[in-house]
């Protein structure tokens, strides 16, 4: 069983804080199983968006982990990221949005192997 979304988000924000990166919950979703989207603002008008990895990225050996994939290979203009997030919330009202700010683009997420 995967860690509840609210606990995972709290731990993720603590990790960011420990690394000196500001992070906040922009939208609170379903506490138990809401999908989590992470926006990393690069503070230059661009951002990276990390979305939940597809279920095919999970293996039986690590079913409790949360893996992410970048929505695009390069940073996008922030309005494009915000548009995508608006669409995601419209599609899934239980979704969480977490935003961090880091000029270096550090995200501290486990990325799915592609």
pTM of the entire predicted model: 0.91
CATH number, domain with residue 87: 3.40.1530.20
54-75 per-position pLDDT tens digit = 865 555 555 557 899 999 999 9
Q: What is the pLDDT of residue 65?
A: 72
Instruction: Give domain status of residue 66, yes or no.
Output: yes
Taking each continuous run of H as one helix and of E as one strand, the counts in the chain are 2, 6
74-83 per-position pLDDT tens digit = 999 999 999 9
Instruction: Give domain status of residue 76, yes or no.
Output: yes
Q: What is the pLDDT of residue 60?
A: 58
Q: How many domains does the chain fold into?
A: 1
Considering only CA atoms, which of 35, 29, 64, 51 is closest in space to residue 109?
51
The SS3 call for residue 34 is: coil
Selected residue with higher pLDDT from 32 and 83: 83
Instruction: Give domain status of residue 114, yes or no.
Output: no
Domain residues for the domain of 69 are 5-101
Instruction: Give domain status of residue 108, yes or no.
Output: no
Mean pLDDT (whole number) for 7-31: 96
Instruction: Give domain status of residue 61, yes or no.
Output: yes
Mean pLDDT (whole number) for 103-114: 91
Longest CA–CA span in the chain (Å) reads: 40
| DSSP E strand boundaries for the chain | 22-27, 36-41, 46-52, 68-70, 76-77, 96-101
Q: Which residue is it, tokens 């603590």?
A: 14
Instruction: Give domain status of residue 111, yes or no.
Output: no
Q: What is the pLDDT of residue 33?
A: 84
Instruction: Give domain status of residue 107, yes or no.
Output: no
Instruction: Give domain status of residue 112, yes or no.
Output: no
């Amino acid at each position: 069983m995967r860690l509840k979304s609210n606990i995972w988000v709290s731990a993720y924000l603590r990790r960011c804080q420990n690394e000196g990166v500001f992070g906040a919950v922009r939208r609170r979703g379903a506490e138990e199983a809401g999908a989590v989207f992470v926006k990393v603002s690069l503070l230059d008008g661009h951002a990276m968006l990390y979305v939940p990895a597809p279920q095919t990225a999970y293996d039986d050996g690590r079913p409790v982990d949360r893996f992410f994939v970048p929505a695009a290979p390069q940073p996008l203009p922030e309005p494009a990221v915000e548009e995508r997030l608006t669409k995601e919330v419209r599609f899934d009202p239980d979704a969480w949005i977490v935003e961090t700010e880091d000029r270096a683009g550090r995200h501290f997420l486990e990325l799915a192997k592609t």
